[in-house]
Structure 1
């Protein structure tokens, strides 16, 4: 009898345990919130607790599923739509002062009479001088409702008294193209920063303009392009691929497959094309690069891309916040999945750059090996390409260790380079514009004074920044390029002058130009090559 009671007790416990173990997860979540509300020592903000729970749930899935608040959604929508209500200026914070460094020649600030070099001291009567404000703080004050004026108090070097301007806010294009220009008589260049709703329209206009200037070959720069709207990537692919070419296909968790094709309305479907990528080229940029590589349409130059091959769907909650949930995997036309592994969690996933640098992958070729299972062939010339973690370039370019160094990052963040460039331009603006009437003259003839570099490095070292020795020629050259680039943007109306100067010092850019200038080498990159082993061909010796 006693034994029967014990067995019966164990059975009851097991049934009870089973009932609790199989509890509805939705009810469990509600119960957890109720327990927190009733028992936590301090008053609880229910919305904050629920938001934290949602974020934690999504973080357990993959690195790209996330929760986005109402405020964050508004900011993202502004970026993706490609416009905002502002006054059409760029500015720099120098010694806690706000100076105008660039003006959109077609914008409201230009029409109101503001000038490059003006110091903004008041915004709608509120002082912004000496307040320790950040760029984002000032930007929020300058932007606002379309059709509503902002009142600026300005100090101008040539004037003895402060000036006042009422500038009407207008829709300002937040362009996805950094710059486009002719590199030589037949080679054009386009740098694409993001894929937004305006990207296809911008690309169409840029290609048309470059073609009228004689472009027959193009460098498309996707370095550091972190992606954006997938629809925009399809639109850009359409510029370069013939009608009914597969750009990519996606597969959902239920196995549903969707193909995304070109429409055949492009501006540049036959000219030679080089695409620049690096370790920060991700998502929509990889979709575009993968399609161009798989169709043997472009030579890809640079370093292995980031490796994001999963697509997120925005699911709106009742309060207008959004759950960005990974809903499908995408594949390049040859069937490559380029998503890198994320089983070890988000922190490990985003530490990939440091692993690549430590392994030597970013500084020299031949460090990446793929198994045969990740091997694919391009659709026309049957070249070997690889999936499993980013797009492998056809031509490897080592990372510029000076540009990606900790010391340069600290120096640029200190503001010393910007301040030195600004001070020089402010003191010598008339002499500079008289001597160098346009950017081309400045770019061709202006040389940075070595004493300016000495002063920057010496002052930084005295303030405790760990920089290379003042005699380090690589460091000096890097600083000189950054100084000249910033000066160019401060001197001339327009956009993209700084990038043009940086391009001239870029190995990736010069390599792309060399490839386009040699038809034989260009063709060789796109020809099928026999595969001798499972190591991806990441480095080819330049002759």
Structure 2
């Protein structure tokens, strides 16, 4: 576009960015015009934005892409609202909804990129790939007769090739050690579940652990399955881990919470300008009303995670342990638009049973809102509870009279700071270069036959303890360009060793192998285990 065209066109765009009102969806009605009439009066029944778009579309000196203008302008308008009201273009809608829907069409493998080649880590039990015979350790070097190995293709591009409509067929060429010839497989894509319950297992004879990654359509059923598994092993206390869980579907959080609360206990209430207060209470049908419960949260636990944690805390039903949560107390409704796009519009605020709205401030704009996490870190909040300032005007009380605060996240009953005592520059370089992960992957690949003899985290770790992992790893790390530093290595030694074993276990038996080993480094979980036997139901 020439400078002259920019000078003509840009004032219209600036007007669009600052205008308010209806942004799409109106039928643009052109009024009859008479000679010499003001062009700004051509569309008297339209909003200012609709008028401007119509003027540009019909009167501007050059042809413009009306849809492209709308796609750019809509997000700018929404920036004047809260950070969680967002526009989702039609091309992105399926991808955005996929995680909440809980499934997608695919071949059923977990993979990683090793030396510019797709390496299968896990084959999903009962999935399309297992049915045709794919195995962990296989290299997928071709898809539909197109070579993908050695082409510097990214993970997203590989996913795009392997995913597709259920019932469609994809051909993959597989290299399997020690064979040198490709094995061709035709795989019919099926429904692949996106698990939101990452793992559940018994930590000790009476305490169970469930890690929930998100609140999707299938989360409640997965959660009930996990609970049943733990109860079958005589679980008396359950630790529910929502750390890193950014939320999801509100009704799913309510259903999970209902499992733990007696009849008529308030779970949450919502209220907005166009929505009257709506109280949601437990119905008394929960299966875990007598099960002791601990909830783990951190600075990345948001929305639905905070609803659950706030309900447990305000009803004095159990303990919340960790660090202050994110602070998202806004409810979005997804509204489909005519062209296949969607608007996620904030329609209400949710409040915990004590009356807290835990939404943090967003009055200084979106950038400041999301940078709040970094400010908390710099302020020392991750390491010292005393650094957090509470507003007495936002003081509330739980069912039993304990003081809790609103105004930005759920503050845990027991604060556990981040542990940085084992972090060193040497370890940071190992992690930054992915050396620990890559070594674990290669070790697994080279020793798969031996490792397959062990089907639990406990037995696999016992075997790995007999191997010279660390000395071999140090040579590997040096070969990858990370210079050995003795003092820093000694400081980080436990951290390195546990992560090596946990990643190897994950490569072999997925999260059931990873989490029981990595918990040795998890101060928040260790504290929760200590407290599990002390809680009164």
Normalising by the smaller structure, the TM-score range is 0.7 to 0.9
Structure 1 residues 265-276: aligned runs within 5 Å: 265-276=285-296
2:417 equivalent among 398, 401, 408: 398
Query: C-alpha deviations, 1:208-251, integer Å up to 9, x for none?
Result: 12101110110100000000000100110011112232111111
The reply to whether residue 501 of structure 1 matches residue 508 of structure 2 is no
Query: 1:212 corresponds to which residue?
Result: 232
The reply to whether residue 446 of structure 1 matches residue 449 of structure 2 is no
Residues 516 and 271 (structure 1), Cα distance of their counterparts in 2 relative to 1, 3 Å cut: same
Query: 1:104 corresponds to which residue?
Result: 124
Structure 1 residues 90-489: aligned runs within 5 Å: 90-254=110-274, 256-379=276-399, 381-401=400-420, 411-412=430-431, 414-434=433-453, 436=454, 438-447=456-465, 449-455=469-475, 457-459=477-479, 461=481, 471-489=488-506
* Residues in 2 aligned to 1:413 and 1:153: alpha-carbon distance in whole angstroms: 32
| Native 8 Å contact 1:363 1:399 kept in 2 | yes
SS in 2 for 1:260: strand
Query: C-alpha deviations, 1:111-140, integer Å up to 9, x for none?
Result: 211111111101111111112222221112
Query: 1:9 corresponds to which residue?
Result: none
Q: TM-score, normalised by structure 1?
A: 0.85
> Aligned pair count?
494
| Native 8 Å contact 2:498 2:520 kept in 1 | no
Residues 508 and 136 (structure 1), Cα distance of their counterparts in 2 relative to 1, 3 Å cut: same
| Native 8 Å contact 2:128 2:187 kept in 1 | yes
Residues 460 and 389 (structure 1), Cα distance of their counterparts in 2 relative to 1, 3 Å cut: farther
Query: 2:18 corresponds to which residue?
Result: none
| Native 8 Å contact 1:458 1:470 kept in 2 | no
**Greater Cα offset, 440-449 or 209-218:** 440-449
User: Where does the alignment leave 5 or more consecutive residues of structure 1 unmatched?
Assistant: 1-19, 527-543
* Residues in 2 aligned to 1:140 and 1:109: alpha-carbon distance in whole angstroms: 16
* Residues in 2 aligned to 1:132 and 1:404: alpha-carbon distance in whole angstroms: 32
* Residues in 1 aligned to 2:147 and 2:516: alpha-carbon distance in whole angstroms: 35
Larger relative contact order (Cα-Cα within 8 Å, sequence gap ≥ 6): 1
**Greater Cα offset, 217-226 or 439-448:** 439-448
Q: CA deviation at 1:187?
A: 0.7
* Residues in 1 aligned to 2:473 and 2:373: alpha-carbon distance in whole angstroms: 30
Query: C-alpha deviations, 1:325-383, integer Å up to 9, x for none?
Result: 1111110011001000111000000001111111111012211121221111111x211
Q: TM-score, normalised by structure 2?
A: 0.86
| Native 8 Å contact 2:426 2:489 kept in 1 | no
* Residues in 2 aligned to 1:469 and 1:144: alpha-carbon distance in whole angstroms: 50
Q: CA RMSD, aligned part only?
A: 2.6
Q: CA deviation at 1:149?
A: 2.5
Residues 121 and 140 (structure 1), Cα distance of their counterparts in 2 relative to 1, 3 Å cut: same
Query: C-alpha deviations, 1:248-291, integer Å up to 9, x for none?
Result: 11111146111112233322111111111000000010011100
1:75 equivalent among 84, 88, 95: 95
Residues 223 and 468 (structure 1), Cα distance of their counterparts in 2 relative to 1, 3 Å cut: farther
The reply to whether residue 513 of structure 1 matches residue 533 of structure 2 is no
